[in-house]
Structure 1
């Protein structure tokens, strides 16, 4: 099962309730940033090779690149509130993005329920849900302000565990890379080479390759493939396009490369994925 998280342009935030399956499903990733709050029950949360035992009150932080999936304990199924949002919601205070600019291998995605940050963030997520449900006058302003508070709490929490100077270093590198990320988001359907991206940064292809790995924790080719597979998943689930039309509109040049990449990332063939989404 996949959580719905299409974001509106004017208010790019969404709160969704989700009960994970008790069987381990295919890992996925989102183009949005994500915060998960375990409301009840227990289970596990997987991020790449990392595995966390999850319980009520825990908070989980996910950026827009790390593959992940939650799983319920069959004897005590978990229920989550997930907040999906675009970075534009806090762009006036760009340092609030720092908790989402991390190296997946060493980042601690879980904030345990016992910690003050988890309790405060959980309360604010419940408040967000209430604002969306009631939609009283100026609810958009309330939601934007609440997102600022949540991200500020995350910044304080992770700032306590970061080496001195680490935030400034990662932040500056991220904003050097940002034009390339925007370029890829807009042009991933086209044939692209590393040199195309490097030209957006006025850097050499070699330096661009190292910068990608350092900031994103993933190589340029892998990042581009993830973008294309994510687009293919969207088209498979929401349109009746043929498989050929899907892979061509997603940026893949041929059948073999598409099937190989899709199966490696999603864990099933495109036809199997479409069938699962049609149930």
Structure 2
């Protein structure tokens, strides 16, 4: 099962606490990345066929390809603090920060013991992200993003030392290819775009580029293009008095029905309802 993640802030980062059920639920996956901190209690965390016990202070790394689910001990239910974020955030900032999440399941330990120096180094940054998003003090978006980058930078330094030269080379190449595609899409999403055409520009096969982008970001090419177009449309809907039709075409949609369908799929509401909910009642 693949979950659709929405974000509660203008920046694509969520922080939330969660208590897993005591009976094992169906595993899920999502395009976002996660770092989970066990705050209290006991239980298990499953990643595919892997099973880890969970105790207070333990951390768990979740990428956008592995099916996963946590389960609480019936006598001492576990509680987690999760930081959930869009990989595109790191892709735009420093693509290398995605390397710790670009692992292959069978060769990766998702568990960081709470007693380890790494867990003690990472835990304060998890709490800072959560605190900034919860309190929303002036500058909180920048502070939350900065704390997330600190967290992921420390993860990168740790896991980079565990990779062989060949593994590191393959992962770096994959991330760079995804970054190159993302950069083109970010600049030209308002134009008609073709994965084959962009792959030709980059000198990479379309199949390889598509796979690298999905592995790195969790997004299919077409879904990422739609996401950027909807994000641009949201800004226009709340920041201008332009007609919805004009906004749709300016943001790269080729038809109004497609715009309405994609916008609602991503946001859960129509463009007009979204504009009205933000206090803009021109239409």
TM-score range, shorter chain: 0.5 to 0.7
Match of 1:208, SS?
Answer: helix
Partner of 2:211: 212
Distance in 2, Cα, partners of 1:146 & 1:201: 34
TM normalised by structure 1 equals: 0.64
Match of 1:105, SS?
Answer: helix
**CA distance change for structure 1 residues 121 and 170 in 2, over 3 Å: closer, same or farther?**
same
Q: Which moved more, 1:6-15 or 1:65-74?
A: 6-15
Query: Residues 107-186 of structure 1 correspond to what in structure 2 (within 5 A)?
Result: 107-177=108-178
Partner of 1:66: 66
Query: Residues 8-157 of structure 1 correspond to what in structure 2 (within 5 A)?
Result: 10-90=10-90, 91-157=92-158
Instruction: Map Cα deviations across residues 134-183 of structure 1 (whole Å, 9 max, x no partner).
Output: 21111111111100110011112212211135323212123325678999
Instruction: Map Cα deviations across residues 15-44 of structure 1 (whole Å, 9 max, x no partner).
Output: 010000010001001111111111111111
Partner of 1:268: none
Instruction: Map Cα deviations across residues 182-230 of structure 1 (whole Å, 9 max, x no partner).
Output: 99xxxxxxxxxxxx8666534557x639x839x849xxxxx97xx9xxx
Q: Do the aligned partners of 2:96 and 2:175 also contact (CA within 8 Å) in 1?
A: no
Q: Is the radius of gyration larger for structure 1 or structure 2?
A: 2
TM normalised by structure 2 equals: 0.63
Q: Do the aligned partners of 1:38 and 1:80 also contact (CA within 8 Å) in 2?
A: yes
Partner of 1:273: none
Distance in 2, Cα, partners of 1:31 & 1:157: 23
**CA distance change for structure 1 residues 3 and 81 in 2, over 3 Å: closer, same or farther?**
farther
Distance in 2, Cα, partners of 1:85 & 1:197: 25
Distance in 2, Cα, partners of 1:9 & 1:129: 12
RMSD value, Cα: 3.4
Q: Do the aligned partners of 1:20 and 1:78 also contact (CA within 8 Å) in 2?
A: yes
Match of 2:148, SS?
Answer: helix
Q: Which runs of 5+ in 2 are unaligned?
A: 185-193, 224-260, 263-283
Q: Do the aligned partners of 1:12 and 1:89 also contact (CA within 8 Å) in 2?
A: yes
Q: Which runs of 5+ in 1 are unaligned?
A: 184-195, 218-222, 228-248, 251-279
